[in-house]
Structure 1
Amino acid sequence: MTHTRRLTLTATAVVLAATLTACSGDADAPTAEPDQATASETSDADSEGSVHNDADTEFAQMMIVHHEGAIEMAELAAQRATTPEVTALAERIAGAQGPEIELMTSWLETWDEQLPSEAEMGSMDHGPMEMDGMDQEAVMEQLTSLSGTEFDRRFLELMTDHHRGAIEMSEEFRAAGQNAAAIQLAGAIIDAQTVEITEMENLRQGL
């Protein structure tokens, strides 16, 4: 009996030890809650980037077209301007607005919205798109016909008008937009192009 009882107690101890070890392992193991929380946070972050309204969509679509016009003008000025300061300004404008076009394009793709096309833009009110009463095509034709200081002066006049249009669009959008990143970009456009307008006015006075 004593031998049998000793075997029984030993077996019980082994089982108990195994049970405690298993419990201890479960207690030390990380729970799924942090992973679930991380997944939830990631989902929230992703959804925040997708939050937008019609004003956000229209702003991105129209500002892409507006920036494309500025780059077209600036690239021409970088080649034709006779004043080094005007050449440098034109290169900065093209260099800054290219990445902004890429950014806004990525937003439209994330939002599953259409990228702008000439047909779509033609149906919108394009007051801010015009410069001195001219559309982009007319502006480029006029600039192409000029040279020397006359070109520099006219480029500065038209680009100043173009910047004012971008500022007007951005100010109107900030009151109606929903996407935080788009609203932030609108503010950056206002700040940067206001500074450039002052620079262009000073350059024009020196010509």
Structure 2
Amino acid sequence: MNAKTMLLGAAIALAAAMPARAQEADHSAHGTTMGEPAADQSASTKAFIEANAKMHKGMEIPFTGDADVDFVRGMIAHHQGAIDMAKVELEHGKDPDIRKLAEEIIAAQEGEIRMMEAWLAKNAK
């Protein structure tokens, strides 16, 4: 299974698991809960916290009742969060395999964001 397939599967699982009231969801699975500082305050930790906060804010969309539109709007922010986290890895990470994965994530997620934005332009009311 390649990285893109794994990410797509994870995205689908995340979307299926999202509670109806996403704004009230517990975000602790992303490393820190909102408003609580991480124990480690390294540059990479601060960058990951900032990327996570930006992603969660972007995912707080007004729901329309159109599952397709709501899914795509939420996933654009989610994919951008993956890009932002991958960029943190490229700036601070050392492992060549993980850096390569980060580069692949950026390329895949940017392409998927372009596709979703084009889909929204044609289908969102």
Q: Could you state the TM-score of these two structures normalised by the residue count of structure 2?
A: 0.58
1:121 equivalent to 2:32? Answer yes
How far apart are residue 153 of structure 1 and its match? Answer: 1.0
Aligned residues: 90
User: 1:189 is matched with which residue?
Assistant: 105
Which structure 2 residue ranges, 5 or more long, are not aligned?
A: 1-8, 18-27, 39-48
> What RMSD over aligned residues (CA atoms) do the two structures have, in Å?
3.0
- The structure with the larger Rg is 1
The equivalences for 1:70-149 within 5 A come to 71-73=13-15, 75=16, 118=29, 120-122=31-33, 123=36, 124=38, 125=49, 126-132=52-58, 134=60, 146=65
Deviations 1:37-67 (Å, cap 9, x if unpaired)? xxxxxxxxxxxxxxxxxxxxxxxxxxxxxx8
Letter in 1 for 2:95: N
Letter in 2 for 1:118: A
- CA separation in 2, counterparts of 1:183 and 1:119? 20
Query: Quick check: which one's helix share is greater?
Result: 1
How far apart are residue 133 of structure 1 and its match? Answer: 5.7
User: 1:165 is matched with which residue?
Assistant: 81
- For the residue of structure 1 that corresponds to 2:92, the secondary structure is coil
Q: Could you state the TM-score of these two structures normalised by the residue count of structure 1?
A: 0.37
Is contact 2:86-2:106 (8 Å) kept? yes
Letter in 2 for 1:130: H
Runs of 4+ displaced beyond 6 Å: none
How far apart are residue 173 of structure 1 and its match? Answer: 1.4
User: 2:92 is matched with which residue?
Assistant: 176
Is contact 1:166-1:189 (8 Å) kept? yes
Going from structure 1 to structure 2, the CA distance change for 1:187 and 1:119 (only over 3 Å counts) comes to closer
User: 2:121 is matched with which residue?
Assistant: 205
- Calculate percent identity across the aligned residue pairs: 24
Is contact 1:174-1:183 (8 Å) kept? yes
Letter in 1 for 2:13: I
- For the residue of structure 2 that corresponds to 1:121, the secondary structure is coil
